[in-house]
């Protein structure tokens, strides 16, 4: 039971990082990405590649993963600079589909469909972290640091510029804000921090394959942010905790078929997303009427 | 000969892409509702036909069930999800998320009922026939192209000459003026959903016999519809039609150079180029900003 809870908390904190970083571009910059799992995957693969072939120290794996995620995100930033939300949804959906093909085909780095086995544990200045009871501290600390970084960004002049862009791009441009630059920086920061979650995830499980980084994962992360509350600090974490506890709650209900837990979980959050948008667009944590999250 | 073979396959795929995409484009262009659950309409129609087929009800009953299911889903979604959301404020984001959520529900409900694997509607029409030396075409390829031609012919006449068709185009141009003119935008929107959902049905049925069905294919359908709508130009039905055909052709002809798992990458590359170089699309008005 204790091992089970530890595992659950570790996953919640990793997914919270994913939610918090997605919320940063979705809630504050109005960029709705269906490709968040791509950067999660890039971080995981890049970190594992370094750890398996060069050095497992986090001072090697984390920077490499973050740079890889950040650089790749420029591909995503490019269309985001040009166009409105609906175009961007399409572009990110396309990128997600393409990335899954690359993850399953680029055998030299990703191990193909079979994935990578035997990824070394995290190495922090010579200490190898492989016990879950130690790992939970690492993930929670990582989450707190990332929350802190994003909190600082949101409350700086940069964050105000972001919200200005979300609410009205032309007004922000008229006030002399460099809209393309601000959007690009926010996408790069978000993706680089997402890659951190990838490194943690890979070294925690010591096994990864493409199935963790498919469209379903991007959708799950988006659902966490939306259900928790877009554009709020605590929302993505609440959402991550809720959606990850949900499958275990469902498995307690004996009358539901155990083989369909995954489907039932998705049905519940799919319905949850639709109902929230009708009755409470700001999410669980968000305000009732959503002056904070919407963009025409 | 291979190129000719691939061109015919490409036209077949493209015809189906065009039908699905025009359905989405018509709804999005006239109502501005980002109907992401359009992929779910496809799934519902396809699986209803599949169910009727394996239960032995015959072709006509299958088509009727698929059409009724698609229309009912489109109209119910509009009435109970989109209209309530738009009553408060119809931001792109809220509509998209709600639609997306419903899409997830449909995908999983269908997956629980029919299983998550591929199923196919078996028909002798999908067996290839050698029509020239080395050129194999299944009769269903001609049926796809004929279906597309007939449906687009009717749609063209409808949009150009009927009262409702004119109203739809007017709603796309200027919703305020439609209201001032005394037409009911909500009724026109319901018609857009009806027509858009009907356009999915032939593509859904034929896909069941050619490429097979899978509950998760709604996302693929949406990627194609979005790509064709954007490449063709948002709000332009002829543009979407052309783009749908072109995407089908491009995916098929790409097989001359790359393996089949990369076909979606071709769609993505075309979409991406258009977003960066020409966001207004082939025939669109400049609508990117």
Pairwise CB contact (< 8 Å): A277 & B272: no
Tens-digit pLDDT profile for residues B22-35: 999 999 988 888 89
Pairwise CB contact (< 8 Å): A273 & B264: no
Query: Which residues on B lie below 8 Å from A172 (Cβ)?
Result: none
Pairwise CB contact (< 8 Å): A87 & B279: yes
Task: Profile chain A (296 residues) by mean pLDDT over runs of 10 residues.
Answer: 86 94 87 90 92 84 91 81 73 87 86 83 78 87 92 86 80 78 88 94 89 88 88 88 85 75 86 87 66 42
Domain ranges of chain A: 2-212
Pairwise CB contact (< 8 Å): A215 & B219: yes
- Across the range B235-261, mean pLDDT stands at 89
Distances (CA, A) of B136 to B5, B126, B203, B209: 7, 11, 21, 17
Q: Which residue has the tokens 């509607």?
A: B121
Does A295 lie at the interface with B, CB-CB under 8 angstroms?
yes
pLDDT (0 to 100) of residue A295: 39
Query: Which residues on B lie below 8 Å from A87 (Cβ)?
Result: 230, 275, 279, 288
Distances (CA, A) of B43 to A38, A63, B27, B85, B205: 26, 43, 18, 24, 10
Q: Out of A223, A230, A274, whose CB is closest to B98?
A: A274
- Across the range B140-146, mean pLDDT stands at 88
Residue of A106, A278, A279 for testing the chain B interface, max B β-carbons within 10 Å: A278
**Per the domain annotation, does B289 fall within a domain?**
no
Residue environment code for A73-110, b if the CB has 16+ CB neighbours within 10 A, otherwise e: bebbbbbbebbbbbbbbbbbbbbbbbbbbbbbeeeeeb
Residue of B31, B43, B94 for testing the chain A interface, max A β-carbons within 10 Å: B94
Domain count, chain B: 1
Rounded distance between C-alpha atoms, residue B190 and residue B78, angstroms: 7
Query: Which residues on A lie below 8 Å from B86 (Cβ)?
Result: none
Pairwise CB contact (< 8 Å): A79 & B96: no
Q: How many residues does chain A have?
A: 296
Query: Which residues on A lie below 8 Å from B88 (Cβ)?
Result: 281, 289
Pairwise CB contact (< 8 Å): A266 & B104: yes
Pairwise CB contact (< 8 Å): A83 & B275: yes
Contacts of A236 by beta carbon, 8 Å cutoff, 6+ apart = A16, A19, A20, A22, A23, A224, A225, A228, A229
Strand-pair category, A127-129 with B135-137: unpaired
3-state helix, strand, coil in chain B (%, to 5): 80, 5, 20
Does A89 lie at the interface with B, CB-CB under 8 angstroms?
yes
Tens-digit pLDDT profile for residues B69-115: 999 999 999 999 988 888 766 677 788 889 999 999 999 999 999 88
Pairwise CB contact (< 8 Å): B93 & A85: yes
CA distance B180 to chain A (A): 23
List, as ranges, residues 62-101 from B with C-beta within 8 Å of A: 81, 84-85, 88-89, 91-101
Contact A9/A200 with Cβ under 8 angstroms?
no
3-state SS, one letter per residue, for A11-29 = HHHHHHHHHHHHHHHHHHH
Rounded distance between C-alpha atoms, residue A66 and residue A70, angstroms: 6
Residue A63's DSSP bridge partners are: none
pLDDT (0 to 100) of residue B250: 93
What CATH number did the domain enclosing B90 receive? 1.10.3470
Q: Out of B85, B107, B219, whose CB is closest to A278?
A: B85
Burial of A250 (0-12, 13-18, 19+ CB in 10 A): middle
pLDDT (0 to 100) of residue A78: 76
pLDDT (0 to 100) of residue B205: 92
For A78, name the nearest residue in chain B, comparing CA atoms only.
Answer: B276
pLDDT (0 to 100) of residue A293: 44
- Across the range B4-8, mean pLDDT stands at 88
Rounded distance between C-alpha atoms, residue A152 and residue A136, angstroms: 24
For A88, name the nearest residue in chain B, comparing CA atoms only.
Answer: B275
Query: Which residues on A lie below 8 Å from B284 (Cβ)?
Result: none
- Supply the ipTM of this predicted assembly: 0.83
Rounded distance between C-alpha atoms, residue A237 and residue A265, angstroms: 18
């Amino acid at each position: 039971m204790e091992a089970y809870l530890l595992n659950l908390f570790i996953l919640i904190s990793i997914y919270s990082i994913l939610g918090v970083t997605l919320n940063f571009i979705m809630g504050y910059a109005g960029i709705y990405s269906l490709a968040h799992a791509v950067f999660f995957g890039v971080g995981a693969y890049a970190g594992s590649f370094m750890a398996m072939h060069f050095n497992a120290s986090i001072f090697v794996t984390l920077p490499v993963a973050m740079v890889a995620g950040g650089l790749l995100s420029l591909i995503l930033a490019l269309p985001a600079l040009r166009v409105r939300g609906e175009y961007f949804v399409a572009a990110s959906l396309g990128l997600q589909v393409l990335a899954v093909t690359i993850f399953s085909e680029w055998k030299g780095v990703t191990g193909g469909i079979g994935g990578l086995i035997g990824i070394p544990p995290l190495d922090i200045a010579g200490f190898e972290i492989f016990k879950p009871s130690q790992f939970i501290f690492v993930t929670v600390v990582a989450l707190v640091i990332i929350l802190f970084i994003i909190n600082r960004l949101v409350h700086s002049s940069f964050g105000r510029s972001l919200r200005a862009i979300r609410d009205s791009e032309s007004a922000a441009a008229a006030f002399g804000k460099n809209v393309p630059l601000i959007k690009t920086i926010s996408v790069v920061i978000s993706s680089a921090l997402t890659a951190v979650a990838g490194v943690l995830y890979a070294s925690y499980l010591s096994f990864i394959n493409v199935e963790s980084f498919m469209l379903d994962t991007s959708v799950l992360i988006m659902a966490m942010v939306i259900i928790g509350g877009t554009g709020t600090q605590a929302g993505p974490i609440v959402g991550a905790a809720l959606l990850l506890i949900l499958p275990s709650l469902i498995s307690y209900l004996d009358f539901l078929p155990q083989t369909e837990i995954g489907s039932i979980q998705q049905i519940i959050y799919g319905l949850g997303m639709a109902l929230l948008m009708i009755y409470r667009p700001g999410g669980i944590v968000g305000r009732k009427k959503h002056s904070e999250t919407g963009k025409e | 000969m291979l190129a000719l073979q691939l061109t015919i396959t490409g036209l077949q795929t493209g015809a189906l892409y065009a039908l699905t995409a025009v359905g989405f484009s018509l709804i999005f262009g006239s109502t501005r509702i980002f109907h992401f659950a359009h992929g779910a309409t496809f799934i519902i129609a396809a699986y209803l036909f599949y169910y009727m087929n394996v239960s032995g009800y015959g072709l006509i009953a299958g088509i009727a069930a698929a059409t009724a299911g698609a229309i009912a889903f489109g109209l119910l979604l509009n009435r109970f999800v989109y209209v309530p959301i738009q009553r408060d404020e119809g931001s792109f984001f809220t509509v998209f998320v709600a639609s997306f959520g419903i899409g997830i529900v449909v995908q999983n409900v269908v997956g629980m009922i029919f299983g998550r694997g591929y199923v196919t509607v078996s028909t002798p029409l999908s067996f290839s026939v050698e029509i020239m030396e080395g050129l194999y075409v299944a009769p269903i390829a001609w049926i796809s192209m004929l279906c597309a031609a007939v449906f687009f012919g009717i749609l063209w006449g409808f949009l150009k000459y009927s009262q409702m068709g004119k109203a739809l185009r007017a709603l796309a141009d200027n919703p305020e003026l439609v209201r001032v003119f005394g037409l009911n935008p909500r009724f026109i929107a319901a018609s857009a959903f009806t027509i858009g959902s009907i356009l999915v049905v032939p593509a859904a049925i034929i896909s069941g016999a050619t490429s097979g069905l899978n509950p998760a294919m709604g996302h693929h359908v949406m990627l194609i519809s979005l790509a064709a709508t954007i490449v063709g130009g948002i709000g332009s039905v002829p543009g979407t039609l052309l783009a749908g055909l072109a995407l089908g052709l491009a995916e098929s002809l790409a097989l001359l150079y790359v393996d089949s798992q990369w076909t979606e990458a071709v769609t993505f590359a075309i979409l991406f180029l258009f977003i960066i170089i020409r966001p207004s699309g082939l025939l669109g008005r400049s609508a990117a900003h």
